[in-house]
């Protein structure tokens, strides 16, 4: 091998002697030097930032009322401590609700920060501190005497008092504030997310993007341009004949020259990634060895392109043709990848059933877009229940089937990384059984005030839905036309996390508390008939949800809840705190409380389920926690193969729970034996959701959008809902997918990169995972490596055959 | 196998195909037989397209012969064994731009399997021999063509090959450079190396080669020492007697009628007479005739055949002039 090592060594010196290499290294050094000062700045601070202000208009309105003595004592106390000019502005405000809309969160934060310094804010009468947790925290400060407090302690006390005044409108104080800094300079406001969340986002997304775009695309193409003449130059007659006269193999000469040329790229990539490794480690405390592991992966990306360049260089002997060929190859791969990824999202991910329920005889499914569909047996398709409102990574509450009134209750919100948005906050009501009555009511409205009815946001269904069945003559019609008429229900309270069914009522879990609405208040036809000035308004806010949370019951920005299997209690998980509440006499009372004290910072997306004896908490990136009925920790268990929980459910009639993982497995959590075992089903690896009918029967949502009713005792499929594929789905399944499978796909190596950087087999489609149920993309690591490797072997093989047979 | 000739080419034929749609076939070598003995400096002559480069490529294994066999030092041409024993200086040699003379020697030495210590030791000797010792750390791309040729020669000699194949070693060199290369070739010959030289410069070949082969149209036209070739060509070519003479016009006309000759008028009533004179008897007879016609002889020259004339004649002739070897 000595001669071939000589070629490799010579290629190294060739790379070192290349001015472009030095220019690039200087460029990379400058970029790294520019990036190096970025980092976290953490300070213990109770100063408010605009991201702490949830609703600036509400705060302005309340302060304006408070200054005039028309709000709670606490708000009045806060208002009194405001800056004089701002107080005057509040006094002058004639219409605080309207004026509040023009107030920016940053302005409110600035004004409230003035209050933080006010020693006169606290008084025991105004702030009795009924919340036990808050009282525990503040007692030492109050005991020391407000006058004796140092500035930071006073800020802490006042921040908690302000929070007491504006429980919902302000996010809870974090104490530790986090900024992105450049050197010692803070960039912008404190971040609304935790360090853990940044890390979750930084590693797989930001680092992967820097590596993918900076190195995977830019550096690789610069490298292709630089290295493209190396093979044509070597195989040019002047130098080639001399090389061929030496006692070496032509094939090995070609391969040695090929891999020797890669040294140039290796030097560049190694330099940048080691630089990034140290910057991420020293500045962001992310010592991710995966960055170093990315070196061979990026080399592999380069090798894929360079194998094409080298073959073309052999055939044409021209560096420009090499570069152009590489570009064309890249464009082809990019186009195929883009088509595949877009179609994969549209055909495989977004149609996935994230919730499957039965409502009477109907089977309902909510997909990843938040659309509620009903199974149409005639055409074997999922038919929209109503006109879809949200799209893409939506969160849907329900569907809840109100059996007594035969109506379906649900609501979809569009989800962005930090909040939920929808056209209107009103819940949606559908009455499959009472279709005619509803249609009649709406038709009456249209006859009375056609314009008003048309413009009314409360009516979600199309005006001509009455004849919906008549227009459905094909599967296509069924896919595109909603099945039923929908009505708008009462408005959901602000900042809602979940809506659950409990004892014949809806429970909305919100930042502001636990809101209750009895099913009896959801009779559409009765409410629709009550009108105001002749115009029928189905719902008035006053008739909506009622807060029945215990006094001072605190709900953080990260909350999830579940009703126990017996339907008697509500379990609320809120940033690491768990409460078991019982509904008695129209109010919730706390039965038990616990805090999960582990390495969590309370910001992880979570799911919680409970039965009579156990409660299971699944948190993103943390092992499963099992608690007993008193919320004492029983066990902590990691899922097999580092799988992540997608859906958690209690198995009826047992003490066990079931889990659907993001890798599509169905698992059983045996709380008694503290073990997790896979449930053997035919669709293992493809499951997306579940709904247990009894301990043996389960409805499974299966990729891409199939539904199966399985009997686990007999191991039989009792019902299968397999929708007819559309033309585009057929094109994707039988055309694009197979072509993509066998084609080289350098960009798919991102999967391996993301896996190396995050260590997780699935990747959330959102920047921050704030919903465990959202579909995650399974990182297909080996398949792209194998196909790309095959491609490189084939292309290099062709080059070797050409070199061996060619008479130069 | 030690007695095997340095180069043994047996009925080597090489056909090329050309064209995209209609594949035309043409022969670059047409059954060449050639033997180069060990220790001799052998020159290969031929016009462009004669097949010289093809023959060298076959010897080096760069192209495969269509038929026939070729051996280098007893091993099949193109085999690793054969290539290990040869040093090659290609025409239009390009060194990698990042090479210095020393790095180049090290690189090609390693490719030839030369140990590092030998590379260092031999490198110094050879660099001194080719006159590059003081400039061995400069980048080769800054070298003149002559310096590159000398470096090429040094790399060809680094692994002490038994046979050197030099393709146009003096091409593009000035007289001093050519003389230097000739000196090196003589040194190699003194060391007992076999040198196979391909050159366009006939004078060079005549000066350094022990034997010469003329290749034209893919076939050998003649093989031998330069003197053998010229003497062999005596049978095919006519030696001439050229005389500058003066005299009366009648006498000149009579000479023209008696002897088959060319007569060209010169100034001062002189004529240049040219006629074939194969032997001394022919020369004597012609002079007797001229003198008998009272013509005065001012200058007399008997032309001798050069290798160039032999080469040109061989190239233009369709038949081989003598049997090779």
Res A105: pLDDT? 87
Q: Any CB–CB contact under 8 A between A17 and chain B?
A: yes
Q: Cβ(A406)–Cβ(A519) under 8 Å?
A: no
Contacts A–B by Cβ distance under 8 A = 76
CA A452 to chain centre: 38
For residue A212, pLDDT over 90 is answered with: no
Q: What pTM did the predictor assign? A: 0.76
Using one digit for the tens of pLDDT, what is the confidence trace for A558-585? 889 999 988 889 999 988 889 999 988 8
**Residue A103 to residues A97, A108, A338: CA-CA distances in angstroms?**
10, 7, 43
d(C-alpha A162, C-alpha A347), whole Å: 49
The sign of the CA dihedral A533, A539, A543, A547 is negative
What SS3 class is residue B218? Answer: coil
Asked if the model's pLDDT at residue A711 lies above 90, the reply is: yes
CB A499 within 8 A of CB A508: yes
Q: Enumerate the β-bridge partners of residue B7.
A: B36, B72
pLDDT at A211 over 80: no
The pLDDT score that the predictor gives to residue A508 is 93
The verdict on B86 touching A (C-beta cutoff 8 Å) is: yes
Q: Cβ contacts (< 8 Å) between B86 and chain A: which residues?
A: 245
pLDDT level of residue A450 (50, 70, 90 thresholds) = very low
Mean pLDDT score, A194-217: 72
The conformation of residue A726, written as its DSSP 8-state character, comes to P
Q: Nearest chain B residue to A807 by CA: give it.
A: B63
Q: What is the mean pLDDT of residues A162-182?
A: 82
Which tens digits make up the pLDDT trace of B64-116? 899 999 999 989 998 989 999 999 998 888 888 889 999 999 999 999 989 88
Instruction: Please report the sign of the dihedral spanned by the C-alpha atoms of residue A113, residue A116, residue A118, residue A124.
Output: positive
pLDDT band at residue A435 under the 50/70/90 scheme? very low
Lowest mean pLDDT among A131-145, A420-434, B227-241: B227-241
In a 13 Å sphere around the CA of A551, the CA atoms on its Cβ side amount to 5
- Contact, B274 vs B304, CB < 8 A? no
For A18, the enclosing helix (H) or strand (E) is none
- Cβ(B148)–Cβ(B140) under 8 Å? yes
In angstroms, the CA A313 to CA B3 distance is 44
pLDDT at B233: 61
CA distance A300 to chain B (A): 26
d(CA B289, CA A129): 150
Q: What is the pLDDT of residue A184?
A: 84
Interface with chain A: mutation pick from B76, B98, B114, highest number of A CBs within 10 Å: B98
* pLDDT score at A524: 57
DSSP A124-145: TTT-----HHHHHHHHHHHHH-
> Is pLDDT of B248 > 90?
no
How many whole angstroms separate alpha carbon A493 and alpha carbon A555?
14
Residue A608: the pLDDT is 93
Q: What is the mean pLDDT of residues A537-554?
A: 70
DSSP β-bridge partners for residue B272: B244, B264
Residue A393 has pLDDT above 70, yes or no: no
Gap from B311 CA to chain A (nearest CA, Å): 28
Lowest average pLDDT, out of A3-12, A165-174, B75-84, goes to A165-174
Within an 8 Å CB–CB cutoff, is residue A237 touching chain B? yes
Nearest neighbour of A245 by CB, restricted to B81, B83, B97 = B83
| A457: pLDDT strictly greater than 50 | no
Chain B nearest C-alpha distance from A731 (Å): 39
Element (H, E) at A681: none
CB contact under 8 A, B94 and A808: no
Measured between alpha carbons, how far is B71 from B75 in angstroms, rounded to an integer? Answer: 5
Cα–Cα dist A334/A329, whole Å = 8
Q: Which residue has the higher pLDDT, A381 or B311?
A: A381
In Å, what is the CA distance from A667 to each residue of A676, A677, A681, A700, A750?
7, 6, 10, 13, 29
CB B78 within 8 A of CB B60: yes
B133-144 confidence digits (pLDDT tens): 888 889 998 888
CB-side neighbour CA atoms (13 Å) of A758 = 31
In this prediction, residues A433-446 reach a mean pLDDT of 44
Q: Taking CB atoms and an 8 Å limit, are A236 and B111 in contact across chains?
A: no
Nearest to A246 among B81, B95, B108 (CB): B108
CA B71 to chain centre: 21
C-beta separation of A378 from A423 below 8 A: no
Chain A nearest CA to B3, separation (Å): 23
Question: Helices A84-92 and A56-67 sit at what angle, rounded to 10 degrees?
Answer: 90
Under a CB-based contact definition with an 8 Å cutoff, are residues A410 and A370 in contact?
no
Instruction: Give B-chain residues touching A808 at CB under 8 angstroms.
Output: 57, 62-63
Phi, psi (deg, nearest 5) at residue A617:
-115, 125
How near does any CA of chain B get to the CA of A237, in Å? 8
Min CA distance, A242 vs chain B (Å)?
A: 6
Query: How far, in Å, CA of A508 to CA of A659, rounded?
Result: 24
Nearest residue, CB atoms, B86 vs list A3, A245, A808: A245
pLDDT, averaged across chain A: 83
pLDDT score, position B1:
47
Alpha carbon of A132 to those of A122, A433, A548, A554, B109: distances in Å?
Answer: 17, 48, 18, 10, 85
Distance in Å, alpha carbon of A753 to nearest chain B alpha carbon? 35
**A640-688 pLDDT, tens per residue?**
887 889 999 999 989 999 999 998 999 999 988 999 999 988 888 899 9
Q: Bigger pLDDT: B2 or B202?
A: B202
A633-637 and A624-628 strand pairing: antiparallel
CA distance B15 to B26: 6
Chain B residues with CB under 8 Å of A242 CB are: 88, 90, 93, 108, 152, 155
**C-alpha span between A747 and B316 (Å, rounded):** 64
Given an 8 Å threshold on Cβ–Cβ distance, is A245 in contact with B88?
yes
Q: Is there a contact between A237 and B92 if contact means CB atoms under 8 Å apart?
A: yes
DSSP string for A115-126: HHT-TTS--TTT
Three-state SS annotation for A379-432: CCEEEECCCCCCCCCCEEEEEEEECCCCEEEEEEEEECCCCEECCCCEEEEECC
Unique residue bearing structure tokens 């009649």: A440
Q: Cβ contact (<8 Å) for B93 and A807?
A: no
What CA–CA distances, in Å, run from A266 to A23, A28, A591, B129, B287? Answer: 15, 14, 62, 40, 85
- Are A14 and B98 inside 8 Å of each other by CB? yes
Cβ distance of A2 and B110 shorter than 8 Å: yes
Asked which of A255-259, A335-339, A394-398, B155-159 is least confident by mean pLDDT, the reply is: A394-398
A508 φ/ψ angles, rounded to the nearest 5 degrees: -100, 125
Nearest CA in chain A to B106: A6
Distance, in angstroms, between A239 CA and closest chain B CA?
5
With an 8 Å Cβ cutoff, is A655 touching chain B? no
Alpha-carbon gap, residue A641 to A665, rounded angstroms = 11
Which residues in chain B have their CB less than 8 angstroms from residue A16's CB?
Answer: 98
Tens digits of per-residue pLDDT, A459-478?
444 444 444 555 678 888 88
d(CA A259, CA A238) in angstroms, rounded, equals: 22
B61–A contact, CB cutoff 8 A? yes
Phi-psi region of A621 (alpha: psi -120 to 50; beta: other; left: phi over 0): left
Share of chain B above pLDDT 70, in %: 90
* Contact assessment for residue A56 and residue A100, using Cβ atoms and an 8 Å cutoff: yes
Mean pLDDT of A479-492: 84
More confident residue, A585 or A508: A508
Interface test mutation site (partner A, options B110, B164, B198, max chain A beta carbons within 10 A): B110
């Amino acid at each position: 091998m000595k001669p071939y090592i000589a070629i490799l060594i010579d290629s190294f010196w060739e790379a070192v002697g290349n001015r472009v290499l030095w220019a690039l290294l200087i460029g990379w050094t400058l970029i790294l030097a520019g990036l190096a000062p970025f980092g976290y700045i953490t300070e213990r601070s109770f100063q408010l930032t605009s991201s702490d202000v949830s609703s600036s208009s509400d705060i302005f309105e309340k302060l304006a009322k408070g200054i005039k003595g028309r709000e709670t004592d606490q708000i009045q106390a806060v208002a009194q401590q405001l800056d004089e000019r701002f107080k005057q502005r509040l006094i002058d405000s004639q219409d605080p609700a309207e004026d509040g809309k023009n107030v920016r969160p940053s302005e409110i934060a600035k004004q409230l920060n003035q209050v933080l310094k006010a020693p006169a804010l606290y008084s025991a009468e105004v702030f009795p501190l009924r919340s036990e947790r808050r009282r525990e925290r503040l007692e030492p400060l109050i005991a020391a005497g407000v006058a004796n407090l140092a500035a930071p302690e006073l800020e802490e006390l006042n921040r908690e008092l302000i929070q007491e005044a504006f429980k919902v409108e302000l996010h809870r104080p974090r104490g530790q504030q986090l900024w992105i800094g450049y050197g010692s300079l803070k960039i912008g406001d404190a971040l609304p997310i935790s360090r853990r969340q940044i890390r979750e986002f930084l590693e797989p997304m930001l680092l992967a993007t820097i590596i993918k775009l900076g190195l995977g695309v830019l550096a690789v193409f610069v490298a292709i341009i630089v290295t493209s003449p190396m093979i044509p130059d070597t195989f040019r007659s002047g130098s080639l004949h001399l090389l061929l006269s030496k006692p070496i193999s032509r094939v090995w000469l070609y391969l040695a020259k090929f891999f020797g040329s890669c040294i140039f790229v290796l030097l560049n990539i190694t330099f940048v990634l080691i630089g990034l490794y140290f910057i991420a480690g020293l500045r962001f405390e992310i010592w991710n060895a995966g960055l170093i592991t990315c070196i061979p992966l990026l080399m592999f990306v380069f090798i894929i392109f360079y194998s094409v360049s080298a073959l073309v260089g052999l055939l044409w002997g021209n560096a420009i043709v090499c570069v152009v060929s590489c570009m064309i190859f890249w464009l082809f791969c990019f186009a195929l990848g883009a088509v595949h990824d877009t179609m994969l999202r549209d055909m495989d991910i977004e149609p996935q059933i994230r919730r499957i329920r039965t409502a009477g005889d109907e089977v309902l499914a909510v997909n990843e877009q938040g659309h509620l569909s009903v199974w149409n047996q005639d055409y074997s398709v999922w038919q929209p229940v109503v006109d879809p409102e949200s799209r893409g990574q939506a969160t849907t509450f329900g569907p809840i089937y109100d059996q007594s009134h035969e109506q379906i209750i649900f609501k979809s919100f569009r989800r962005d990384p930090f909040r939920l948005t929808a056209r209107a906050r009103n819940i949606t009501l559908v009455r499959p059984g009472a279709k005619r009555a509803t249609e009649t009511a709406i038709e009456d409205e249209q006859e009375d005030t056609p314009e008003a009815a048309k413009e009314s946001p409360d009516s979600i269904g199309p005006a001509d839905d009455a004849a919906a069945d008549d227009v459905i003559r094909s599967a296509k019609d069924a896919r595109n036309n909603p099945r039923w008429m929908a009505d708008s229900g009462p408005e959901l309270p602000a900042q809602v996390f979940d809506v659950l069914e409990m004892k014949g009522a809806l429970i909305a879990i919100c930042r502001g508390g636990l809101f209750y609405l009895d099913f009896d208040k959801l009779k559409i036809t009765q409410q629709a008939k009550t009108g105001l000035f002749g115009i029928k308004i189905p719902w008035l806010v006053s008739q909506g949800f009622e807060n029945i949370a215990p006094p001072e019951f605190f709900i953080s920005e990260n909350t999830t809840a579940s009703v126990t299997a017996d339907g008697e209690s509500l379990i609320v998980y809120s940033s690491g705190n768990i409460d078991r509440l019982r509904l008695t006499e129209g109010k919730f009372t706390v039965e038990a409380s616990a805090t999960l004290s582990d390495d969590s910072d309370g910001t992880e997306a979570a799911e919680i389920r409970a039965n009579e004896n156990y409660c299971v908490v699944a948190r993103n990136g943390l092992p499963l926690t099992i608690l007993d009925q008193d919320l004492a920790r029983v066990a902590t268990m990691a899922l097999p193969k580092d799988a992540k929980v997608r859906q958690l459910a209690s198995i009826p009639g047992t003490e066990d729970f079931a889990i659907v993982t993001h890798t599509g497995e169905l698992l059983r959590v045996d709380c008694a034996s503290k073990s997790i075992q896979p449930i053997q089903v035919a669709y293992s690896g493809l499951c997306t959701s579940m709904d247990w009918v009894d301990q043996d029967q389960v409805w499974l949502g299966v990729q891409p959008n199939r539904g199966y009713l399985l009997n686990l005792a007999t191991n039989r499929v009792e019902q299968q809902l397999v929708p007819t594929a559309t033309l585009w789905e057929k094109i994707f399944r039988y055309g694009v997918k197979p072509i993509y499978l066998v084609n080289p796909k350098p960009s798919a190596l991102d999967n391996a990169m993301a896996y190396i950087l995050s260590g997780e087999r699935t990747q959330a489609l959102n920047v921050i995972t704030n919903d465990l149920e959202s579909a995650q993309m399974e990182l297909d690591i080996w398949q792209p490596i194998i196909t790309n490797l095959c491609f490189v072997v084939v292309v290099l093989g062709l080059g070797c055959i050409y070199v061996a047979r060619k008479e130069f | 196998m030690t007695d095997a000739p340095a180069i043994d080419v047996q009925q080597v034929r090489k056909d090329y195909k050309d064209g995209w749609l209609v594949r035309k076939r043409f022969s670059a070598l047409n059954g060449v037989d050639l033997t180069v003995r060990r220790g001799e400096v052998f020159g290969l002559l031929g016009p462009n397209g004669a097949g010289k480069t093809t023959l060298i490529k076959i010897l080096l294994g760069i192209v495969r012969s269509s038929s026939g066999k070729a051996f280098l030092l007893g091993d099949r041409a193109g085999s690793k064994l054969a290539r290990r024993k040869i040093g090659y200086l290609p025409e239009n040699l390009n060194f990698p731009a990042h090479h210095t003379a020393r790095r180049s020697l090290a690189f090609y030495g390693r490719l030839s399997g030369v140990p590092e210590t030998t590379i260092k030791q031999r490198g110094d000797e050879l660099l001194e021999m080719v006159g590059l010792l003081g400039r061995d750390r400069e980048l080769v791309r800054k070298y003149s063509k002559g310096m590159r040729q000398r470096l090429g020669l040094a790399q060809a000699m680094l692994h002490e090959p038994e046979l050197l194949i030099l393709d146009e070693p003096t091409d593009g060199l000035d007289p001093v450079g050519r003389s230097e290369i000739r000196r090196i070739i003589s040194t190699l010959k003194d060391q007992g190396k076999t040198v196979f030289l391909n050159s366009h410069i006939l004078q060079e070949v005549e000066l350094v080669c022990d034997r010469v082969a003329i290749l034209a149209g893919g076939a050998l036209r003649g093989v031998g020492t330069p003197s053998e070739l010229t003497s062999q060509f005596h049978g095919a070519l006519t030696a001439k007697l050229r005389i500058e003479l003066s005299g009366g016009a009648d006498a000149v006309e009579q000479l023209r009628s008696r002897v088959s000759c060319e007569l060209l008028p010169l100034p001062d009533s002189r004529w240049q007479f040219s006629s074939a004179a194969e032997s001394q008897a022919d020369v004597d007879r012609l002079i007797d005739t001229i003198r008998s016609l009272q013509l005065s002889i001012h200058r007399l020259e008997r032309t001798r055949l050069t290798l160039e004339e032999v080469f040109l004649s061989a190239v233009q002739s369709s038949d081989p002039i003598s049997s090779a070897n």
